[in-house]
């Protein structure tokens, strides 16, 4: 293998794939990045056997070939090299790198030992506007479970139906759902994608200037094509909970508040609620929303903001972090809170985004 690539371009591709390199593995090759030069194209690939990322770098290929080299060593050399271009050449299982001011040899492992990265057929294929998809991921990724005791809850639920893609996530204490309108009808399908995969997809989307994201899926894998980068991930097996039954169909009390003011109020009370499991009280009084801490050993805090209230008053307790998580992903100047009673789930909605719903379960108030 022999090729020349621009340092900046190769470094970008290296950064795209490097996050999924296995750091704790009994297979040394999983700590490597596969460099492949074939048919005039240079590709970098990395995998931890659950998620694989492949990115294409531009350059001039003189001789085809492939080799895996330790990700950390390669990244350190490329990142610290400020020369404009770098020459790459393999000699058996050693990668020789040379630029204007630097030269190095990195011992690698044969590409034959690297796990094969599947190329998914377009069994299910659709294009989604990048901005729409990015916004949806941000709004649902706040809700998946962090532990693996219930694997399906550690993922993001995808439902393709007609011209709508519904994304949802829940950890049993809160639920986030976002709907995206697709350009055309697609095959109906329900799948669960690991939350970690979606975090990587979101990271890559933010670094690529592309108009659309292409998605394809098989029975147990999914692929996201983002410009010249592709993410392939396993799917989570199992049936997702029928969460729609916990979404209130109506509400008695509606509160419209200024988003920035509500964030400040919740943050202030959260400062004093750290020793009481982040529990805070939300209370409506006339045309004001009162946010206060509950039984804090360190002291207490009360915040008051003006808002529009209809349907009566409410006194309910929530986990402050669960409220902050959703308030910080909403971009609207106004936020809508809906309640029925202190024992029922509260609903947070965006004033402008009618396709987004966030449900948070209340906590018991000890008077």
Instruction: Identify the pLDDT of residue 276.
Output: 80
| Tens of pLDDT, residues 223-247 | 999 999 999 999 999 999 999 998 9
What average pLDDT does the segment 311-323 reach?
94
What average pLDDT does the segment 38-57 reach?
94
Is the domain spanning 2-113 CATH 3.40.50.10880? The answer is no
Instruction: Identify the pLDDT of residue 296.
Output: 67
Q: Where are the alpha helices (DSSP H) in 141-258?
A: 195-207
Residues of the chain with CATH 3.10.150.10: 2-113, 124-245, 248-360
23 pLDDT tier (thresholds 50, 70, 90): confident
Please name the CATH architecture into which domain 248-360 falls. Answer: Roll (3.10)
What average pLDDT does the segment 41-59 reach?
95
| Tens of pLDDT, residues 69-84 | 999 999 999 999 999 9
Give dist(CA 186, CA 128) in Å, integer.
Answer: 12
Query: Whole-number mean pLDDT of the chain?
Result: 93
CB 44 within 8 A of CB 77: no
Half-sphere exposure of 259 (CA within 13 A, CB side): 17
| Tens of pLDDT, residues 98-133 | 999 999 999 999 999 999 988 776 565 789 999 999
| Torsions phi, psi for 297 (to 5 deg) | -70, -25
Instruction: Identify the pLDDT of residue 80.
Output: 96
| Tens of pLDDT, residues 261-275 | 999 999 999 988 888
Is the domain spanning 124-245 CATH 3.10.580.10? The answer is no
Instruction: Identify the pLDDT of residue 121.
Output: 66
Ranking 113-122, 186-195, 280-289 by mean pLDDT, the lowest is 113-122
Other beta carbons within 10 angstroms of residue 105's beta carbon come to 11
Instruction: Identify the pLDDT of residue 364.
Output: 82
pLDDT at 194 over 90: yes
Percent of the chain topping pLDDT 90: 80
User: For 308-335, b where at least 16 C-beta lie within 10 A, e where not — what string?
Assistant: ebeeeebebbbbbebbbbbbebbeeebb
């Amino acid at each position: 293998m022999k090729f020349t690539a621009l340092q900046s371009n190769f470094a970008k591709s290296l950064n795209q794939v490097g996050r999924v390199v296995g750091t704790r593995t009994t297979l040394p090759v999983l700590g490597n990045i596969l460099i492949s030069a074939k048919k005039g194209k240079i590709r970098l690939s990395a995998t931890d056997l659950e998620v694989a990322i492949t990115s294409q770098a531009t350059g001039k290929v003189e001789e085809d070939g492939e080799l895996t080299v330790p990700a950390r060593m390669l990244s350190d050399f490329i990142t610290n090299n400020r020369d404009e271009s770098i020459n790459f050449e393999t000699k058996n299982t050693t990668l020789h790198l040379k630029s204007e001011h630097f030269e190095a040899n990195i011992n690698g492992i044969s590409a034959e030992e690297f796990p094969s990265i599947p190329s998914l057929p377009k069994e299910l294929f659709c294009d989604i506007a990048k901005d729409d998809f990015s916004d949806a991921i941000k709004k649902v990724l706040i809700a998946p479970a962090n532990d693996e005791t219930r694997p399906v809850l550690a993922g993001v639920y995808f439902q393709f139906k007609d011209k709508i893609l519904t994304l949802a996530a829940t950890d049993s204490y809160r639920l986030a759902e976002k709907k995206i309108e697709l350009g055309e009808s697609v095959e109906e399908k329900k799948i669960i994608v690991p939350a970690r995969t979606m975090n990587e997809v979101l990271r890559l989307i933010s670094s690529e200037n592309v108009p659309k994201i292409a998605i394809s899926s098989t029975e147990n894998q999914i692929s996201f094509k983002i410009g010249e980068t592709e993410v392939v991930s396993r799917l989570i097996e199992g049936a997702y909970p029928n969460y729609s039954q916990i979404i209130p169909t109506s509400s008695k009390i509606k509160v419209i508040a200024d988003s920035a003011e509500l964030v400040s109020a919740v943050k202030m009370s959260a400062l004093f609620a750290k020793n009481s499991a982040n529990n805070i009280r939300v209370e409506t009084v006339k045309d004001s929303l009162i946010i206060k801490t509950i039984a804090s050993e360190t002291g207490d805090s009360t915040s008051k903001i003006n808002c529009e209230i209809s349907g009566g008053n409410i006194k309910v307790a929530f986990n402050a972090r669960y409220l902050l998580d959703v308030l910080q992903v909403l971009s609207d100047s106004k936020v809508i809170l809906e309640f029925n009673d202190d024992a029922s789930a509260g609903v947070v909605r965006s004033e402008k985004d009618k396709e987004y719903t966030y449900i948070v379960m209340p906590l018991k108030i000890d008077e």
